[in-house]
Every structure is written in C-alpha cells, then in structure tokens.
A and B are shown apart, each in its own frame.
Chain A
C-alpha cells in the first residue's frame, strides 16, 4: 500500500465526517408503506377492470357472432294475414341464450323475403297484381 493510497483513504475519511447523520427510519418506512399501498391499489384496479371487462367483452363477442342482429321483424313483408300465422310469425321466441333466436324455418334465407315454407303463395310486391292468388293477399 503506497502513500497515495494512504492519503486517498485519509481524505475520504475526512470528507465523510462532514456528513450529518440523520434518522431516516420513519421516512423510509413511510415511503415503503406508501409504495405498497400504491402497488396494491393499482393491482386492485387492474383486477377489477379485468373482472368487469371480461364478461362485457364476451357478451359483445357473443352477440356479434349471430348471422344478423335478432331483428324483431326479420320478414317485414311477411306480416300478412296468412292462415298460418305461426309459420310466418317473426321471431317467435326471444331465446335468452346467446345466439339468435333462430326461426325454425330456414334461417339462411334472407329476411326480406323471409317467406317460410308457406305453400300458399303469399303475394308480395314481387307478384303481379293479376296473379291468381288463392289466398286473399289484401
């Protein structure tokens, strides 16, 4: 160990003695507790957001997977006084389960001409007026 090292050590010791010792225990404990509260709060908010957001996201995703929004009148032109109302009834059962209340007749048919398997040619606007329709088409 040379003289320079000795001098360096003694200088460092002299400088260090200028420091004023203070009690930092309470400040450190308070800071640690505040940090812990903050961490727990942030974690709680994150968990709550996940718990609340997940069902909403799932419901939204499930509602969007149907072929179409479950419109109350999938066949507006079908609202005619046909003798078989049950068949042409628009969306008979609002099923609470997710998914569309699939009407029993051919759900793949477009709803504009949602004519079910009604054998009676219910005349719509597509039919000419002079078409002999057995059923009063109004």
Chain B
C-alpha cells in the first residue's frame, strides 16, 4: 500500500559535530482491498489462579467478544494456556476459516474452558507460532491474556521469544495484579505488540473487542524501515516514538552494503514517528552529507523514502537550534525510562531515587502535555509542583495504579498537543 515518509530535523551541525538526529514520520494511505490474508490466535490463561474473582468467566466473555469481531475468511484458533498449551478450537494443529458457523463453534468451545494448572507462557507462544507458520505472508496477530507470573524455568521464555520473534505480533494483557509487568513487556517488545493492564476483569470484553477490531483493520503485514548510512557512520538507535516508545535498534537485520532493515510489524491506515540517531564522521564547514536514507519497505518493495542530512556550519545560530520534534520525542523516551526506573527504585525501597525519577517524570509529562501519563503519575505520587518536578511518594499506592503507570509509561503524545 502507499506510504509517505517525512523527515523533521535540524540538519545543521557545528564544526566537528558528529551526532545526527531526526524524526521520520511514516504514514500509510491504504487505497484498495486488503492484499494480505490474516490469521488470529487467541491465547487465554487457564491456570488455577484464574478462578479468583470471576476472572475465568470474564476471560470467556472477552474471548467470545473477540471471536465476534473476526472478519469472514480470516484464519483463527483458540488456545487454552496452562502447564502446557491446549488448542481448544479447531482441532489441534489446524486453523479455522471464520464464518458465522465457525464463530459459533469457537464460542461454544470457549464455554468449556476450565481453570486449572500452571502458567507456561513460552509453551503457549510456541504453540501459536506453529499455527502461524502454516500461513506465511499473512498478517499474523495473537492476543495473550494472563493473570500470573510465568512458571517456566528461567531463560525458557527468553529462548522462545528469540525463536518466534518477528513471526507474529502479540498484544499482551494482564488481568488482576499478580502478573509481572516486566515479563509481559518483554513478550510484547519481542513480538512488536502492546501491553496493558486490565485491573478489573469486567473491563476485558471491551479491551478484547478493541484489540481484535484493530487487528482486523491491518492491511499490510511485515512493513520494515530500511536505513542506509554512509561509510564511517553507524546507526546509534532507531526507536519508534509514537504512538508508543519501542526501541528497534536490536532488531536490525543487514540488507546489502551499509543498510539494515528494522521490523515495524503490520500496518492499518495510520501514522507513526521514528527517532533515528546516526553517528557520522565530522565534515568540513560547508560540507553537506547524506547521513541516512530511510525507506519504507513492504514485501521487498520501496514505497517511500526520506533523507536525513548533515550540514556543517560555522553559524552557531543555526547549529544550536533544537528541532522541536527531536526535542519532544527525546523527552517522551526519557519519560518512559524515568517512570520505569522510578518504580523499580520504589519497589527496591530506594525512596530517594524513586522521588527524583518520578519527579522528573511528572515534569516531563507536564511540559510535553502528556495528560494521560500525568494522570497515572498522580496516582503514585503527590505532586507539589509539576513545573519543577517536586513530588512526594504516596504512602499507600494501589498495586493496579502502579502497574497501570508502568505498562502505559511508553505511551507518547505528538508534538503540538501540549497546551
């Protein structure tokens, strides 16, 4: 599908300057019928703890709602997660084609889910990956619901993520407050999905509906950014910075001389921002260099290209200008980082560091107009002065509030939404 790519940067560097920063906005503009097929797998945690507080009943209702959203013709399956993965619809190792009839059958199968056993997320993902492997080229999407900490051997989940990373996208949801944010974030990051908390099981249905509707809106699978850099240059990082912060640097695969591909997952009609930072060899005053060429690649075809330039100048008025977009997203990435560090310090009992980090977060959220994150922070700290980041840790914080702040810390806002 057609894309546009646009660069925002201050290309002027001082004499000797070597760091080039730019925000690249990629926008997709679907114009025709969906070209790729789609496969969806719903994974529901059925460990013993799901009996608590009506979670299993809520999970069943949510799964049914998600099934109702699956478009005719889409391949799908339902997996019950316990000590090992158990496919409950259709037959083990196969995919159903969505129709009124198969949706009814799947809904009936969901009614038979029972909560018993352990949590083994790695084995559930392995099972899902096996199903997706039958549909190469499809837009592959999974929903993972869990309520507890992974019970597999240390390192097992990481090994699975290493193996299945990039083969499908997975949106992760934690219900209740007994699951571990860092663990699910790891899964979501490796599988280019979202992570969120659904503290109250009653909220699951709406959330599953929203996730499945978004998945059905995807029209292109496996869109990548190709970043070319000249000799003696290196990519310091490539981060998605809007709608959420996601570091793609480590996901690079080489693609010809001096170019690398960074996966961005599947796309609907949407717009995302990427922060690209390149270290180059300093040029002479007056030199102009192409520091990077960023291409949007889908299925081996280049659909849009944008240039990141470096121009060395002796004019300090130009080189000291800070690009608004770059500054804004540098702040948003720092906001996510200080929230996570602050909450970690708080858990470790280091109140000094926690106050400092969360204070900085309050200030960054206020400055950038990130009202949603500011609201989540207010549940964890008492804010004396947002402008200076003066805060006090709340004595008692609901676990759900803390986990909501943690999971949603990566949510960013665009430039210009600030007051």
Q: Are these two chains actual partners, yes or no?
A: no
Chain A residues at the B interface, C-beta cutoff of 8 Å: none
Chain B residues with CB under 8 Å of chain A are: none
